[in-house]
């Protein structure tokens, strides 16, 4: 899995992600920060929901990793590969656990994101420098985000081998999508669906509003049915409503108003087409409200302390390889 080269520990990974629901084989994570968020006032200042005890957060994170490993997933914790000044700073970054935003695997190409707020910029640099040592230039180019204004990959879904779905909201700009669209087409995709969701804390990223729940179903908050999607292809574009776009990709949509806790209810991770890794706080009603969800294997993990940071299981995992 690893080897040393020029002072770097090289991780051998063959990126391969053409969906959100295929069998998860390799995933990136990062341990939580060592810094506590001691009180509600501090949490409000840094944009978190509640104070966080990092010892409990670490226990939650180790439990999540253990559940993935027990399911046969190879877990790569990028914080373990940092050295020197990067390592010294990285463990103090309170948002570093939310690795989903840092990059996205489009087919066999890893495209770096760009932080939507400067508070998160250092972890993007640290992670991308590691990727530069792990992958060749064709697979990952650290220069691909040079022209971006903001692109956090909690706003990105790779729906299938043809289409990706991206939100332009609080942390991702339409200019960045325009900048990257040719790279996405070159990676093998024929169209990009763009939705523009409200800019609030509860709708910060696309994966706080909807999620792929298997090969044929997407769960989405009901308000999203009112939003158009701009479809961009290599030869032009047009607008359709969200449900039409999603159905064209082979999915039904389960519209729900039963979301009580945005992060726990929506932010789950597909381990394979029949298995979801979910928070113990997730609404089981949502996950059993549709015929295509009956019989799903739900693996529950306690990530309550981690969720207080405003992100869930999907936010804390970045798939590298899916079968």
Q: Into how many domains does the chain fold?
A: 1
Query: ∠87-92-95 over CA atoms, to 5°?
Result: 110
Note the pLDDT of residue 159: 98
CA-to-CA separations, 159 to 65, 100, 130, 250, in angstroms, rounded: 25, 16, 27, 9
Rounded average pLDDT per 10-residue block, the chain, 323 residues = 56 93 97 97 96 98 98 97 97 98 98 97 97 96 94 97 96 96 97 94 90 95 97 92 97 91 92 96 87 92 97 98 95
pTM: 0.94
Identify the pLDDT of residue 130: 96
Q: Are the beta carbons of 75 and 65 closer than 8 angstroms?
A: yes
Structure tokens given for 35: 């810094």
Residue 175 lies in a domain: yes
6 belongs to a structural domain: no
DSSP, residue by residue, 87-133: HHHHTT-TTTT-GGGGEEEEBTEEEE-B-SSGGGHHHHHHHHHHHHH
Residue 152 exposed, middle or buried by CB count within 10 Å (0-12, 13-18, 19+): buried
Dist CA 273 CA 255 (whole Å): 20
Q: Which two tokens stand for residue 133?
A: 């040592």
| Measured distance between the N- and C-terminal CA atoms of the chain, rounded to whole angstroms | 18
E strand segments, the chain: 2-5, 8-11, 24-29, 74-77, 103-106, 109-112, 156-158, 163-167, 191-195, 210-212, 217-221, 228-233, 236-241, 252-256, 269-272, 275-279, 297-301, 318-322
Classify strands 210-212 and 217-221 as parallel, antiparallel or unpaired: antiparallel
Q: Which pLDDT score is estimated for 299?
A: 97
Flag whether 131 is in a domain: yes
* pLDDT score of 234: 85
**What pLDDT is recorded for position 260?**
81
Among 15, 269, 271, which residue's Cα sits nearest to residue 131? 15
Tell me if 5 is assigned to some domain: no
Domain for residue 43, yes or no? Answer: yes
Residue given tokens 């158009």 in the structure block: 228
Length in residues, the chain: 323
- Per-residue model confidence (pLDDT) at position 1: 59
- Burial of 294 (C-beta count, 10 Å sphere; 0-12/13-18/19+): exposed
In-domain check, residue 1:
no
Q: Is the dihedral of CA 16, 22, 313, 113 positive or negative?
A: positive
* Range(s) of the domain holding residue 162: 12-322
Q: What is the CATH number of the domain that holds 91?
A: 3.75.10.10
Quick check: is 4 in a domain? no
Residue 118: inside a domain: yes
Residue 290: its pLDDT value, please?
Answer: 87
How confident is the model at residue 56, as a pLDDT?
98
């Amino acid at each position: 899995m690893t080897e040393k080269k020029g002072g770097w520990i090289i991780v051998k990974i063959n990126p391969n992600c053409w969906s959100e629901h295929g069998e998860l084989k390799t995933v990136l994570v990062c341990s939580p920060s060592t810094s506590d968020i001691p009180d509600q006032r501090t949490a409000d200042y840094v944009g978190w929901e509640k104070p966080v005890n990092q010892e409990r957060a670490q226990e939650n994170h180790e439990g999540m990793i253990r559940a993935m490993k027990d399911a046969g997933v190879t877990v790569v914790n990028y914080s373990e590969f940092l050295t020197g000044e990067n390592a010294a700073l990285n463990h103090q970054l309170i948002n570093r656990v939310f690795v989903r935003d840092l990059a996205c695997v489009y087919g066999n190409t890893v495209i770096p994101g760009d932080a939507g707020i400067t508070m998160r910029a250092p972890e993007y640099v640290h992670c991308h420098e590691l990727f530069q040592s792990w992958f060749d230039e064709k697979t990952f180019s650290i220069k691909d985000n040079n022209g971006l204004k903001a692109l956090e990959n909690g706003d990105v879904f790779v729906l299938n081998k043809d289409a990706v779905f991206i939100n332009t909201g609080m942390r991702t700009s339409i200019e960045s999508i325009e900048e990257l669209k040719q790279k996405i087409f070159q990676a093998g995709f024929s169209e990009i669906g763009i939705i523009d969701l409200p800019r609030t804390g509860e709708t910060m990223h696309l994966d706080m509003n909807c999620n792929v729940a298997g090969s044929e179903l997407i769960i989405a908050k009901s308000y999203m049915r009112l939003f158009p999607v701009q479809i961009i292809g290599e030869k032009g574009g047009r607008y359709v409503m969200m449900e039409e776009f999603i159905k064209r990709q082979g999915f039904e949509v389960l519209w729900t108003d039963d979301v009580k806790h945005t992060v726990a209810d929506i932010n789950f991770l597909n381990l394979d087409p029949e298995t979801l890794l979910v928070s113990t706080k997730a609404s089981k009603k949502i996950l059993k409200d549709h015929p295509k969800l009956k019989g799903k294997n739900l693996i529950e993990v306690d990530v309550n302390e981690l969720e207080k940071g405003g992100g869930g299981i999907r936010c804390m995992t970045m798939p590298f390889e899916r079968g």
